[in-house]
Structure 1
Amino acid sequence: MNLRTLTAARRAPAPRPAAARRAVVTALETCALLLAEDVSVVKSSQDVRDLRLRLRLHQKHLGSVAGSRPAQPRLSGLVETARRSAAQAPPDRLGEAQAYLRQLAEEVQAVVVEMGRCGLVCVHPRECPPAHAPDQAAARIRTVLPDIGCRLLCNGVFSFDDTGVLADGRVYPPRRTVPTGPR
């Protein structure tokens, strides 16, 4: 695989508007709250209604962000599964409703994880710097490509082993250090 093929085949991250990042962060917070083993936030039927509404809104926002990109079959399937689950009425019994909400939270969380894997959004607790930022190399590694000696970062930047960088369609040459002292 050469650099031209790699550049053409890469999935560039979508622009990360604040609304998309906010949707991811709040969805992850809600999912973490519902999936925590030691905490039961569902104590009444009103809690069930509120949390179901919140998860439905997360699913809707994430679906709109995911729908802004070309078709990703796995992501589309996860979004559709979460949409169908969110459309179902929760069970009347509290224990069954808790299980329903946990399942829905797991499905929403799976959508977020897949969006991160596809490069649509940064799912890290602290958002990775964008490709055009001076500290672009501080982004987390998404994929290691040892056969060509580079890493694909969360922000869509290719960082090569020789310190060269491919970012925003531009190639930045390696940074060479000048040896000092006697030879």
Structure 2
Amino acid sequence: MNLRTLTATRRTPRHRQAAVRAAVVAARETCELLLAEGASVVKSDQDVRDLRLRLRRHLKQLGAVVGARPARPRLSGLVETARRSTAQTPPAGLGEAQAYLRRLAEEVKAVLAEMGRCGLVCVHRRECPPAHAPDQAAAKIRTVFPDIGCRLLCNGVLSFDDTGVLAPDGRVYPPRRTGPTRLL
């Protein structure tokens, strides 16, 4: 794998990255709400409709991220399965409807997990800083490439052993020199 391949998979404009992060955070919050132990958020038919629509909206946003990237059959399959599930009519009883919504939340959670595994989104509990942030190097290491002396961070930044940085948008930051320099 070369550097061009590594950075090409993560080139996304800043405003798009912010939208993706917002969509992921919202989807996670909805899933946590529905999957919380002992939580009964479904109190009426209106709650069922609202939560089902919210999950559909999350899938639409996540599906747009998946569709904009190179083909990933497993991820596309998970998104399609979840979309089909949200298209189904929810059961009539509140208990069955809550089980239906929990199943949908599990499917959305599986999509998020696979997106994290593919490197499309940050899966860390405390989200890594974006590539354009001043503290971009604080992101978690996703992959180490010892043969070329760099690490791919969760935010798409390539951090080199000499402290140089290659941002996902193609910008290059030269190595930071620490300590005194000697003149020859």
TM over 0.5, yes or no?
yes
| 1:24 maps to 2:24 | yes
**Post-superposition offset of 1:30:** 0.6
Question: Could you say which residue in structure 2 is the equivalent of 1:158?
Answer: 158
Q: Which region of structure 1 is more displaced relative to structure 2, 129-138 or 59-68?
A: 129-138
Counterparts of residues 14-53 of structure 1 (less than 5 Å):
14-16=12-14, 17=16, 18-53=18-53
Question: Could you say which residue in structure 2 is the equivalent of 1:12?
Answer: 10
**Post-superposition offset of 1:134:** 3.2
Question: Could you say which residue in structure 1 is the equivalent of 2:178?
Answer: 177
Counterparts of residues 100-179 of structure 1 (less than 5 Å):
100-124=100-124, 127-167=127-167, 168-178=169-179
Structure 2 counterpart of 1:130, which letter?
P
Aligned residue pairs total 176
Whether the aligned pair in 2 keeps the contact of 1:55 and 1:86 (CA below 8 Å) is yes
TM-score, normalised on structure 2?
A: 0.80
Q: Which region of structure 1 is more displaced relative to structure 2, 105-114 or 137-146?
A: 137-146
Cα displacement string for residues 88-125 of structure 1 (whole angstroms, at most 9, x for unaligned residues) = 11122322222211111011122223333333344556
Structure 2's unaligned 5+ residue stretches are none
Structure 1's unaligned 5+ residue stretches are none
Structure 2 counterpart of 1:92, which letter?
A
Structure 2 counterpart of 1:159, which letter?
S
State the identity %: 78
TM-score, normalised on structure 1?
A: 0.80
Rounded to whole Å, the distance in 1 between the matches of 2:102 and 2:146 is 38
Whether the aligned pair in 2 keeps the contact of 1:158 and 1:165 (CA below 8 Å) is yes
